[in-house]
């Protein structure tokens, strides 16, 4: 048993310590909002927050995050001081900007952006591009940038 803190809740997980966090979240905790895309930390679909930092959960063994505070897309809004039921500002910007197409990469995209804006409330276009290594096959890049800009302008 390994104790894991996800979205503010403690879980005792009965899984191999080598099992990547991605599959623990999806298979052991039923949190399927975090997606499998490549398994080699190349696409960003599996991005979660580990102690406030964006991290690619497909390449993090369970043993390495046992003491960390993990936040997934399901817990992103609640991880801030917002009233229950309200969306995180990044999620809200994604709806206003009608960003997703198929949507599969967007959990990871939103988690990456939320972590970026936590550190840097007004990133330059260059900082945005270099922070976002996430892949989107539908080609939502222009809308992702615009949605981030709408938050930067507000900040």
Partner 1 sequence: MKRRTFLLGTAAVAGGLALGYRVWSAGFDAQAAALAGTGTGAGALLAGWVKIGADDVVTVYVPHADMGQGTHTALAMMLADELDADWARVRTERAPADKAFANRFLAQGWVLQGWQLPSFLTSTVGAGFAEAARFINLQITGGSTAVRFTGQGLRVVGAAARSMLAEAAARRWQVDAKTLSVASSVVSHPPSGRSARFGELAADAATLTAPSDPQLKARRDHKLIGRSLPRLDVPAKVTGEMQYGIDLSLPDMLHAAVRSAPVHGGKLVAIDVAPALKFDGVERVVKLESSVAVVAKSFWQARRALDALHPVFDDGGNGGASTRTHFDQQARMLADGKASSVHRSGDAEAMLKAAPADRIVEATYRVPFLHHAAMEPINATAQFKKGELIVWAGEQDALGSKAALAASLGLAADKVTLHALPIGGAFGRRIAQTSQHLALVAEIAKVVSPRPVKMIWTREEDFAQGAYRPAVSTYIRAALGADGRPTAWSQVYVDLAGPGRREGYQIPYDIPAQSLNVVAGKTHVRTGTWRSVAHSQHAFYTECFMDELAAAAGRDPFEYRRDLLPTGSRLRKVLELAAEKAEWAKPLAPGAARGLALVESFGTIVAHVIEASLGADGSPQVHRVTAAVDCGDVCHPDNATAQVEGAIIMGLSAAIGEQITIEQGEVVQKNFPDYPLLTFANAPPRIDVHFLASDGPWGGLGEPGLPPVAPALANAMFAISGKRQRILPLTAAA
Any contact of residue 79 with partner 1 (CB under 8 A)? no
Name the token pair of 99.
């960003």
Contact with partner 1 (CB under 8 A) among 70, 99, 117, 151: 99
CB of residue 73 to partner 1, shortest distance in Å: 4
Any contact of residue 51 with partner 1 (CB under 8 A)? no
Q: How far apart are CA 91 and CA 6, in angstroms?
A: 19
Q: Which stretch binds partner 1 (CB under 8 A): 49-57, 67-75, 78-86, 115-123?
A: 67-75
Between residues 96 and 119, which has the closer beta carbon with respect to partner 1? 96
Contact with partner 1 (CB under 8 A) among 72, 89, 115, 117: 72
CB of residue 102 to partner 1, shortest distance in Å: 3
DSSP-assigned states of every residue in the chain: -EEEEETTEEEEE-S-TTSBHHHIIIIIS--TTS--S-SSSSS-TTEEEETTEEEEGGG-BGGGGTTSEEE-GGGTGGGTTPPTTPPPHHHHHHHHTT--SS-TTHHHHHHHHHHHHHH-SS--HHHHHHH-----TT--HHHHHHHHHHHHHH-
Any contact of residue 106 with partner 1 (CB under 8 A)? yes
Give the binding site for partner 1 (CB under 8 A). 16, 19-20, 23, 26-28, 30-40, 42-43, 45, 72-74, 77, 87, 91, 94-95, 98-107, 110, 125, 128-130, 132-145
């Amino acid at each position: 048993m390994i104790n894991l803190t996800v979205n503010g809740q403690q879980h005792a997980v009965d899984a191999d310590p080598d099992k990547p966090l991605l599959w623990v979240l999806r298979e052991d905790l039923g949190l399927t909002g975090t997606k499998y895309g490549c398994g080699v930390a190349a696409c960003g679909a599996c991005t979660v927050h580990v102690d406030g930092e964006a991290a690619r959960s497909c390449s993090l063994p369970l043993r390495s995050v046992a003491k960390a505070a993990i936040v997934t897309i399901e817990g992103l809004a609640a991880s801030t001081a917002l009233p229950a039921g309200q969306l995180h500002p990044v999620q809200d910007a994604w709806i206003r900007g009608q960003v997703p197409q198929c949507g599969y990469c967007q959990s990871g995209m939103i988690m990456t952006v939320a972590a970026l804006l936590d550190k840097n409330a007004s990133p330059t276009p260059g900082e945005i591009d270099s922070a976002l290594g996430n892949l989107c096959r539908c080609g939502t890049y222009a809308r992702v940038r615009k949605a981030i800009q709408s938050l930067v302008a507000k900040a």
